[in-house]
Amino acid sequence: MLDARSRRPSPAPHTGRAGCRLAAALAAAAVATAAHAADPPPAREAELVRLVRQDCGSCHGMTLRGGLGPPLTPQALADRPEAMLAATIIHGRPGTAMPPWRPFVTEAEADWIASRLKRGLGDDGR
């Protein structure tokens, strides 16, 4: 009797445990975010780098040296304030082909992308 009961699948407690794990993961992420305010978690960083190379690269050039959009190399952006770059990423440039990325990245992530562009994100590291 006891055996049969313990073998019966019990979805409710399972869901509960998954919810707990999710909550724990979110809490851990929140702690990580608090520790490095500007840095997304590593997996998200990898996604953002892919986004910049592929989606941004479709206009700014695969090595970010310019295409339809201007180059996004550290040299080209040297005199651009990081906050201005982040605002351009979030809001786009109305009246130009530069679209707003607000639906896809948070403001903190846009800050991070801007700082990565200043340091170099092209395929050749420039």
Which range of residues in 13-21, 26-34, 36-44, 92-100 is near ligand HEC by CB under 6 A? 92-100
Taking CB under 6 A as the rule, does residue 101 contact ligand HEC? yes
Taking CB under 6 A as the rule, does residue 60 contact ligand HEC? yes
Q: CB count, 10 Å around CB of 81? A: 11
Residue 22 has φ and ψ, to the nearest 5°, of -60, -45
Taking CB under 6 A as the rule, does residue 56 contact ligand HEC? yes
Taking CB under 6 A as the rule, does residue 72 contact ligand HEC? yes
Taking CB under 6 A as the rule, does residue 54 contact ligand HEC? no
The CA distance from 72 to 1, in Å, is 68
Q: Give the closest residue to 65 by CA, choosing from 21, 120, 105, 20.
A: 120
CB 92, CB 119: distance < 8 Å: no
Which range of residues in 3-11, 19-27, 28-36, 48-56 is near ligand HEC by CB under 6 A? 48-56
Residues making contact with ligand HEC (CB under 6 A) = 51-52, 55-56, 58-60, 68-70, 72, 80, 85, 88-89, 93, 96-99, 101, 113
